[in-house]
Amino acid sequence: MTSPFISVSELADQLSEPNPPTVLDASIVLHPAAFDGDYRKDIGRDRWLVGHIPGSQFVDVSTQFSDTSAPLHYTHQEPQEIADELARIGIAANTPVVIYDSTGTLFAARLWYLLRWIGVRARVLDGGFAAWERAEQPVQTGESVPPVAAESWQASAVRDAWVSRQELIERTETDARPLVCGLPTGSFTGADPSRYSRRGRIPGSVNVSSRDLFTKDGTVKSRVELILAYDAAGVDVAEHAREVLLYCGGGISAAGNALTLAAIGTNAVRIYDGSLEDWSADPSLPLALG
User: What CATH number should be reported for the domain holding residue 268?
Assistant: 3.40.250.10
pLDDT in tens, 102-153: 999 999 999 999 999 999 999 999 999 999 999 999 999 999 888 999 999 9
In sequence order, what are the beta bridge partners of 207? 181
Domain residues for 117?
5-134
Together in a domain, 44 and 103 = yes
Short-list 148, 151, 152, 158, CA closest to 115: 158
Residue 201 and residue 233: Cα distance in Å, rounded? Answer: 15
Together in a domain, 214 and 126 = no
Q: Return the pLDDT at 238.
A: 82
Q: For residue 95, with 0-12 CB atoms within 10 Å meaning exposed, 13-18 middle and 19 or more buried, which class applies?
A: middle
Together in a domain, 172 and 85 = no
| 287 found inside a domain | no
Together in a domain, 129 and 177 = no
Specify the number of domains making up the chain.
2
Mean pLDDT computed over 12-28: 97
Together in a domain, 127 and 174 = no
1: pLDDT strictly greater than 70 = no
pLDDT in tens, 233-262: 999 998 778 899 999 999 999 999 999 999
- Beta carbons of 244 and 235 less than 8 angstroms apart: yes
Together in a domain, 85 and 181 = no
Together in a domain, 202 and 263 = yes
pLDDT in tens, 79-100: 999 999 999 999 999 999 999 9
| 252 found inside a domain | yes
- Beta carbons of 88 and 22 less than 8 angstroms apart: no
- Give the DSSP H or E segment for 269: strand 269-271
Together in a domain, 124 and 207 = no
Question: What percent of the chain is helix, strand and coil (3-state, nearest 5)?
Answer: 30, 15, 55
| Helices and strands, number each (H, E), in the chain | 11, 11
Together in a domain, 9 and 125 = yes
Average pLDDT, the chain: 96
| 284 found inside a domain | no
